[in-house]
Amino acid sequence: MKSSDQPRWFGVDQQDGILSLALNNPPWNVLTTEMLEELEAELKRGSTDDRVRVVLIFGEGRGFCAGSSVQEHLPGKVEVMLPRFRQVLTRLGSFPVPTIAALHGVALGGGLELACAADIVFAAEDTKIGQPEIGLGAMAPAALVFLPQRIGYHRAADLLFSGRQITAGEALTMGLVEFVCSDAELLSEARKYARLIAAHSGPVLREYKRALLQASAHNDRRLQEMEELYLNEIVPQPDYLEGLKAFLEKREPRWQQAGEGEK
């Protein structure tokens, strides 16, 4: 059964206990504040629907998600976008039933942070995965919380400090994703797994998820702390604005320390 109030930036479908949310902002599903507002609304609606036993989130087009809009990282906009993104991550991370993310093409920046908020992550073999924020003179607040939990401090440090992209195979070895399959089989395999979960008792699944969240460290406070650090310590840095402008102007950034000590 499809939602009667279909959002602009998402495909929404609910069948057999599975709530499917398809990001639809071609070609790379870059997240905007408007998209995040719609996604939060759908997650809020789904969380109160006892018929939902599992959530599957994936992307239409060429990739899962290339991250949050660089335009909306600019001062004056990032102060609105970042709290909205945190609210989405909190809703997805604390959703009352199991959640699955299915990645293809790219899962970069905010796209990877969104995937990490899910319980189970599938990835197509060709997916490029990474946190490139350091190359913009920026920071990945949610990744600072999620990545150490998923893959440990040192592997998180590698991805965050280098900004390098990894393959789905390397992500599987790290424990960043749980399943890797071919691009052609990605959604069929993810849906097959979703049906496996949805076949179980809805009330028991909800209690199981609540217990798992209770037994694990809660992320809400730490997400807010990282957001505040980002806004208070990173955004005011001259290199932050230079990194964003360089990306938008398609040029190499001229970092503040570049050329220091040179004649």
Give pLDDT, residue 68: 96
* Domain parsing of the chain, residue ranges: 10-182+204-215
pTM of the full predicted structure?
0.92
Closest CA to 136 of 62, 69, 63: 69
pLDDT one-digit tens code per residue, 14-63: 999 999 999 999 999 999 999 999 999 999 999 999 999 999 999 999 99
How confident is the model over 187-212, as a mean pLDDT?
Answer: 97
How confident is the model over 132-146, as a mean pLDDT?
Answer: 96
Q: Which class is 10-182+204-215 in CATH?
A: alpha beta
Whether the pLDDT of residue 1 is over 50: the answer is no
C-alpha 205, offset from chain centre: 23
Return d(Cα 191, Cα 56) in angstroms, integer: 8
**Which of the four pLDDT bands, split at 50, 70 and 90, describes residue 102?**
very high
Whether the pLDDT of residue 182 is over 50: the answer is yes
Whether the pLDDT of residue 3 is over 70: the answer is no
